[in-house]
Chain A
Amino acid sequence: MEKKIGVYICSGCDIDKSIDPEGLEKVAKNEYKVPICKTHPFLCSQEGLQLIKDDQKNEGVNCFVIAACSKRHHQTDFDMGADTIVIRVPLREQVAWILEPRDAEGNVNEDTQMAGEDYVRMYTSTVRLTSVPEPYIQEKTDKSIAVIGGGVAGMTAAVQAAKAGYDVNLIEKSDQLGGFALSLKSIIPSEPPFENLMPNNISELVAEAEGMGNITVHKSSTVASIAGEPGAFQVKLENATGSEFAAGAVVMASGATPYDASKLTHLGIENDNVISSIEFEEMAKNGAIVRKDGQPAKSVVFVQCAGSRDENHLPYCSNTCCMTSLMQAAYVRELDSDAKAYIVYRDMRTPGQYEAFYRKQQDDPGIFLTKGNVVGVNEAADKTVNVDVDESLLGDQIQIQADLVVLAVGQVPSTLDEGSILNLQYRQGLDMPELKHGYPDSHFICFPYETRRTGIYAAGTVRQPMDENFAVRDATGAAMKAIQSAVMTEMGQRVHPRSGDLTFMSPDLSRCTDCKRCTEECPFGAIDENEKGTPLPNPARCRSCGTCMGACPERVISFADYSVSILSEMIKNIEVPDEDDEKPRIVAFICENDAMPALEQLAMERKKISPYIRFIPLRCLGGNNLVFVSDALSVGIDGMMYLGCKYGDDYQCHFIKGSELCAERLGKVQETIGRLSLESERIQQFEISMNDAPILPKLIDDFMEELEDYGPNPFKGM
């Protein structure tokens, strides 16, 4: 496409109280020979937008450099339609609001004006390197959903997706649907008044899943392999017929298993009348609560956190055992009004509306609840069990004599079972990367469904310990995410967190050296490779974070509107004053996800920062290519800041590994910098979260102060 550039400067929102737009126009016209450059006092108004549209229509402008607010604002207003390039210069947030305004006489501040002019340079320079994204459209996008696991979560995901009009293949390894819920007598209340147990309605859900025309149920089946990408997964099953089908997205709802109670010897599991909560449920379901010798159990002690929140067993809380024991205590009372139930807990956790059920059991005179530590479980000669409890609310050391002791066990995700669940034919392995304890890596707080395998969503107890009520809610959401992934793939769009982005990684393989860094470092396992190690991209698996672009030593990976050359060009177009001017220049690469909003928060509060910094946004710090360091140092930039997400165990990176990889790469380059007799501290990475706006000014000031000690970059002006 023949590019015709128009630069449009907005002087509204107090921009002209800090900047002289005429100076910016001069830069665009004289230095970049831009044919059309206009200033408007209210660019996002109807009149302002009309001015741009008229130029599009009458002058043939197709590349629009909008120097106004940041691209986080008015996204759709400045959408100029197909076959156009729109580049937003964040004049308002990164210059006008955050640097010194004009003085009392109305004269612009020299440094502020220089920053404004630099940003016009930096962004205008990228137009020639930017292209209009061509979406990746698959020949045929399959939008059916494959659901692995026929328990509550899997069946719910299947039924809910089917109700929205999507075809589903539901895969269950046993010979019947239902899963763990088949073993339950009752369900914890999920309806007002939240006080009464509800009958186990699993058979209704089974009938619904089996009866829906657009659900194909595969029983006695496991996944032999999954290859491909969203919209075009090829699923092969291991079953009698060796079924094969396509899928647009996958819901992994393979469930959990109860923690193996036989390991709980410190709680006396080897004794006849000490059983797990799973065995107790079965007994209650069969209608009588009895000791091993068949005598009715008149007193039952429930031991909470049996093997949970225990470093020797499961270090986490399984979320479900408190409510399960309260439910089972209710069974004791319901089946025999003379019987008594005791619950010994460490902390009783009944969040939200579950409190009502807890309160009801507390009010039952036959149910005794106490906080305490169970220190001994011993069977007497008559087969009654003595439970020793320390630090209880009823006394320092008490002993409860019981006919039966029930150990409330937690959940272990099925990912820890032998064999792979997904059998992904991916370069990075058969399964989803795990975060902890076998649960898949995810942004648990902000994006609970996200995984590191695009188009594959975990739901139910394989994602997080939960009960049936939560699994229903969880699986409905996972079905939504799966559908969304297939539909967006059909439109050629990326999914979360760059939803709607049409760009994707595309390598220039003619210059690739098969070093495999991109195939190894992609946080989403999007890139496979052939025997030689040449990358085989799967565009629909790409999340367009640019981590591969940062990794590539040959710099052959780019996106239509985001590339190493674009970012290098921005650095090279910063005007670097002479050493004598005593105006240092810092390049700050800033993560668009959290650090950028933090900076903009600062701007909104009209707080001021150093005018010597030029910010360059990165989709993720993972996109940092080491060439940027040499680019910056060679043009005389005095220091570089990398502002990105927290990394490590409690990472906040939206692309999981990006900020960590950036730090790793910078660690390597710092040695080289030292060899150039430059201080490696000139380049530093900082962890910034969304709410770190208040600490940013000081962080920047401290960095500037440190730089002052080192003096100007000796390569300046060379």
Chain B
Amino acid sequence: MVKGKVAKVTEGQNGGVVVEAEDILNGGKVNLEVDMLVLATGMESSLKGVPMPDVVQLDENGFVAPNLQKHGILSAGVAKFPGDVNSSIQDSTGTALKAIQTVVGN
């Protein structure tokens, strides 16, 4: 493992990829020639930039603000925060209970 920022990615001579990166801990640069380069990209809220009713507030990245939900509108999982399968299941299970609460006694 190398800690450092990738400075440059170029095509290698044998059809591979050359990755040039800083190696902070060893105080230098590394040049790695690899067959494949995988970019580990994050997730973006699907609501980013989408017009929402006034009661639904989004944070600056487009995720639904957790404590600002009113009027029986709830959000769950990666609409609320970037997360994995586990945290989505965990969150949506609790959100289902919140939804039930809104109709109990009605």
Residues of A within 8 A of B (CB): 160-161, 163-165, 190-194, 351-353, 371, 391, 393, 444-449, 473-481, 483
Alpha-carbon gap, A479 to B3, bound state (A): 42
Residues of B68-87 at the interface with A, using a CB-CB cut-off of 8 Å, are: 68, 81-86
CA distance A449 to B81 in the complex (A): 20
Whole-angstrom distance between the Cβ of A680 and the nearest chain B Cβ:
39
**Which chain A positions have C-beta within 8 A of B90?**
448-449, 473-474, 477
* Known contacts A193-B60, A447-B89; A160/B24 CB under 8 A: no
Pick from B81, B85, B101: contact of A445, CB under 8 Å = B85
A192–B89 touching, CB < 8 Å: no
Which among A391, A393, A447, A479 is the interface contact of B97 at CB below 8 angstroms?
A479
Instruction: Please tell me if the beta carbons of B101 and A163 are within 8 angstroms of each other in the complex.
Output: yes
- Kindly state the separation between the CA atoms of A353 and B62 in the bound complex, as whole angstroms: 11
Taking the closest CB of chain B, its distance from the CB of A356, in whole angstroms, is 9
Least CB distance from B106 to A in Å reads 11
Tell me whether B33 is interfacial, beta carbon within 8 Å. no
Query: How far, in Å, is B96 (CB) from chain A's closest CB?
Result: 6
CB distance from A457 to the nearest CB of B (A): 10
Contacts of B55 in A (CB 8 A): none
Q: A163-B104, A192-B60, A445-B86 are in contact. Are A473 and B91 (CB under 8 A)?
A: yes
| Complex interface: chain A residues within 8 A of B46 (CB) | none
Which residues of B are found within 8 Å of A190, using beta-carbon distances? 66-67
A190 to B66, alpha carbons, bound, how many Å?
Answer: 8
- Tell me if B11 counts as interface (CB < 8 A to partner A): no
Chain A residues with CB under 8 A of B29:
none
B residues within 8 Å of A by Cβ? 3, 24-25, 57, 59-61, 63, 65-68, 81-86, 89-98, 100-101, 104-105
A residues in contact with B60, CB < 8 Å:
192-193
4 further interface pairs, Cβ-Cβ under 8 Å (given A164-B101, A474-B94): A371-B25, A393-B25, A444-B86, A476-B98
Residues of B within 8 A of A194 (CB): 59
A160 touches B63 (CB 8 A): no
Whether B63 pairs with A353 at a CB distance below 8 angstroms is yes
A-B contact pairs, 16 of them (CB 8 A): A163-B104, A164-B104, A191-B68, A192-B65, A192-B68, A353-B59, A353-B81, A445-B85, A445-B86, A446-B86, A448-B90, A449-B90, A477-B90, A477-B92, A480-B93, A483-B97
- Chain A nearest CB from B23 CB (Å) reads 12
Contact A448 B89, CB 8 Å, known A352-B83, A353-B63: yes
- Smallest CB-CB A-B distances: 9 pairs: A476-B94, A477-B93, A480-B97, A477-B94, A192-B59, A352-B81, A165-B104, A163-B101, A480-B93
Q: How far is the CA of A192 from the CA of B101 in the complex (A)?
A: 25
B22 to chain A: closest CB distance in Å?
Answer: 11
Judging by beta carbons under 8 Å apart, are A480 and B104 in contact?
A: no
B contact residues around A371 at 8 Å (CB) = 3, 24-25
Bound-complex Cα distance A194 to B95 (A):
21
CA distance A190 to B90 in the complex (A): 17
Closest to B43 in A: A352
- Among the interface residues B68, B85, B89, B104, which one has the most CB atoms of the partner chain A within 10 A? B89
Given A371-B3, A446-B89, also A191-B94 (CB < 8 A): no
Which of A165, A193, A352, A444 has its CB near the most chain B CB atoms (within 10 A)?
A352
Contacting residues, chain B, for A351 (C-beta < 8 A): 82
- CA distance in complex: A353, B91 (Å): 15
Give the residue name and chain of the B residue nearest to A161 (CB). B97
Distance in Å: Cβ of B34 to nearest Cβ of chain A: 23
Docked Cα-Cα span, A494 to B48, in Å, equals 40
Give the contacting residue for B66; candidates A163, A191, A478; CB below 8 A: A191
* Alpha-carbon separation in the docked complex, A194 to B65 (Å): 10
Chain A residues with CB under 8 A of B93: 449, 476-478, 480-481
B-side contacts of A165, CB under 8 Å? 104-105
Residues of B within 8 A of A473 (CB): 90-91, 94
B24 CB contact (under 8 Å) in A393, A448, A479, A481: A393
Q: How far is A650 from B91 in the complex, measured between Cα atoms in Å?
A: 24
Q: Is B66 in contact with A446, judged by CB distance below 8 angstroms?
A: no
Is A446's CB under 8 angstroms from B91's CB? no
Is there contact, CB below 8 Å, between B94 and A480? yes
> Whole-angstrom distance from the CB of A387 to the nearest CB of chain B?
18
Give every chain B residue within 8 A of A161 (Cβ-Cβ).
Answer: 97
Residues of A within 8 A of B98 (CB): 160, 476
The residue on A at minimum CB distance from B3 is A371
**A residues in contact with B91, CB < 8 Å:** 473, 477
Given known contacts A191-B67, A476-B94, A476-B98, A352 and B82 CB-to-CB distance under 8 angstroms: yes
B97 touches A160 (CB 8 A): yes
Complex Cα distance, B66 from A193, in Å, reads 11
Contacts of A160 in B (CB 8 A): 94, 97-98, 101
B85 adjacent to A446 (CB under 8 Å): yes
A100 to chain B, nearest CB (A): 37
Nearest Cβ in chain A — how far from B5, in angstroms?
Answer: 12
Report which residue of A160, A191, A353, A481 has the largest number of chain B beta carbons within 10 angstroms of its beta carbon: A353
**Do the beta carbons of B97 and A164 come within 8 Å of each other?**
yes
- How many Å from the CB of B28 to the closest CB on chain A? 13
Contact of A164 among B3, B24, B68, B100 (CB under 8 A): B100
Which residues of B have CB within 8 Å of A444?
86
Closest chain A residue to B97, Cβ basis: A480
Q: How far is B91's CA from A449's CA once the two chains are assembled, in angstroms?
A: 11
Q: How far is the CA of A449 from the CA of B89 in the complex (A)?
A: 9
Instruction: Report how far A193 CA is from B57 CA in the complex, Å.
Output: 12
A128 CB to nearest chain B CB (Å) = 41
In angstroms, Cα B96 to Cα A445, docked, is 19
A473 to B104, CA, bound (A): 20
Whole-angstrom CA separation of A161 from B100 in the bound complex: 10
Residue pair A477, B97 in contact (C-beta under 8 Å): yes
Chain A residues whose CB sits within 8 angstroms of the CB of B67 once the complex forms: 190-191
A156 to B101, CA, bound (A): 14
Q: Which residues of chain B come closer than 8 Å to A163, judged between CB atoms? A: 101, 104
Instruction: Give the distance in Å from the alpha carbon of A478 to the alpha carbon of B91 in the complex.
Output: 10
Query: How many angstroms between the C-alpha atoms of A479 and B93 in the bound complex?
Result: 9
Given the known interface contacts A393-B24, A477-B93, A480-B96, the answer about A191 and B86 at a Cβ–Cβ threshold of 8 Å is no
Instruction: Enumerate chain A residues within 8 angstroms of B83, measured Cβ to Cβ.
Output: 352
In the bound complex, CA of A382 to CA of B72 (Å): 61
Closest B residue to A347 using CB positions: B3
B61: nearest residue on chain A (CB-CB)?
Answer: A353
Smallest beta-carbon distance A450→chain B, Å? 10
Most A CB contacts (10 A, CB to CB) among B57, B66, B92, B97 go to B97
Residues of B within 8 A of A352 (CB): 81-83
Across-interface contacts of A193 in B (CB, < 8 A): 59-60
Which residue of A has the minimal Cβ distance to B94?
A: A476
Residues of B within 8 A of A478 (CB): 93
| Minimum C-beta distance from B88 to chain A (A) | 10
Nearest-neighbor residue (CB-CB) of A192 within chain B: B59
A411 to B85, CA, bound (A): 23
